[in-house]
């Protein structure tokens, strides 16, 4: 209820209002509530004195009549630039407090949601990082070696590589030695390579 306005059932029994009604009649009472409804919609429940002529037109009364209601019966608080209703401000306090509590709850709820989003992003980023590291890190073999099975013995070369008419096994091993390829695993990996089409040994 954004336009909520509490109307006390005994408002007409207020002494100031009774005096105003005696002088202005029930028409004055209607004007009074018209002004309250207008103030209810204003920031801090106050309005500039400059709006009095416009408000008088809305209430279909003369500016002089409206000024009497505002100035003469101590129903409104008037300063050099604006007027307000202490009674209206007082009656709106519970509603204002309720709205402020809702705003604070919403603010806190928003902060909680933001924290949850940040936590979710952090968890997601950490999971992605761990997944990436798991993909990049070689798995451990049963012997505890990383990325390769522990090998200590050089494989016997395939039989076809011993044919000196088509292959130069000794020359291959000598070349690998010159290139400092001495790791057993790497040597065995080379020996496991599929057989290429036979080529004649260069003279």
| Percentage of residues in the chain having pLDDT higher than 90 | 35
| Percentage of residues in the chain having pLDDT higher than 70 | 64
Instruction: Write down which residue in 50, 84, 118 finishes a domain.
Output: 84
The residue with tokens 């013995």 is: 153
Position 202 pLDDT exceeds 50: no
| Mean pLDDT lowest among 32-36, 39-43, 101-105, 115-119 | 115-119
| Mean pLDDT lowest among 32-36, 103-107, 115-119, 132-136 | 132-136
Report if residue 202 sits inside a domain: no
**Strand order of the sheet with strand 77-78?**
46-48, 82-84, 77-78
What Å distances lie between residue 50 and 132, 137, 159, CA to CA?
70, 78, 110
Beta bridge partners of 77: 84
DSSP state of 138: P
User: 103 and 76 in one domain?
Assistant: no
CATH number of residue 22's parent domain: 1.10.10
Report if residue 153 sits inside a domain: no
Mean pLDDT, rounded, for 67-77:
97
| pLDDT for res 199 | 44
Q: How many structural domains are present in the chain?
A: 3
User: 110 and 60 in one domain?
Assistant: no
| pLDDT for res 141 | 47
Q: What's the CA dihedral at 190, 191, 196, 200 to 10 degrees?
A: 110
Report if residue 173 sits inside a domain: yes
Report if residue 140 sits inside a domain: no
Report if residue 56 sits inside a domain: yes
Report if residue 9 sits inside a domain: no
Report if residue 117 sits inside a domain: yes
Q: What stretches of the chain show up as alpha helix (H) in DSSP? A: 15-40, 52-59, 63-71, 86-136, 169-178, 184-191
Position 184 pLDDT exceeds 80: no
User: 105 and 59 in one domain?
Assistant: no
User: 54 and 24 in one domain?
Assistant: yes
User: 123 and 175 in one domain?
Assistant: no
pLDDT class of 121 with cuts at 50, 70, 90? confident
Instruction: Write down which residue in 72, 104, 127 finishes a domain.
Output: 127
Mean pLDDT, rounded, for 26-31:
94
User: 169 and 121 in one domain?
Assistant: no
User: 74 and 47 in one domain?
Assistant: yes
User: 59 and 109 in one domain?
Assistant: no
| pLDDT for res 93 | 85
| pLDDT for res 73 | 96
Structural domain span for residue 21 = 15-84
Asked whether the beta carbons of 82 and 35 are under 8 A apart, the reply is no
User: 80 and 22 in one domain?
Assistant: yes
Q: Which residue has the higher pLDDT, 56 or 154?
A: 56
Report if residue 200 sits inside a domain: no
Q: Which residue has the higher pLDDT, 26 or 118?
A: 26
| pLDDT for res 162 | 64
């Amino acid at each position: 209820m954004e336009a909520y306005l509490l109307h006390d059932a005994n408002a007409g029994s207020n002494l100031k209002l009774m005096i105003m009604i005696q002088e202005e009649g029930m028409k004055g009472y209607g004007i009074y509530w018209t002004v309250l409804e207008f103030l209810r919609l204003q920031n801090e429940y106050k309005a500039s004195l400059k709006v009095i002529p416009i408000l008088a037109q809305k209430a279909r009364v003369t500016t002089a009549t409206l000024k009497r209601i505002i100035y003469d019966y101590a129903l409104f608080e008037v300063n050099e630039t604006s007027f307000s209703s202490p009674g209206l401000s007082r009656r709106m306090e519970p509603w204002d407090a309720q709205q402020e509590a809702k705003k604070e709850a919403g603010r806190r709820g928003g902060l909680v949601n933001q924290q949850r989003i940040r936590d979710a992003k952090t968890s997601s980023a950490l999971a992605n990082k761990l997944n990436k590291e798991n993909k990049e890190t070689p798995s451990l073999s049963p012997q505890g070696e990383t990325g390769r099975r522990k090998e200590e013995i050089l494989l016997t070369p395939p039989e076809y590589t011993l044919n000196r008419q088509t292959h130069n096994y000794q020359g291959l091993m000598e070349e690998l030695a010159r290139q400092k390829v001495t790791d057993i695993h790497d040597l065995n990996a080379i020996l496991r390579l599929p057989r290429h089409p036979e080529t004649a040994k260069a003279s």
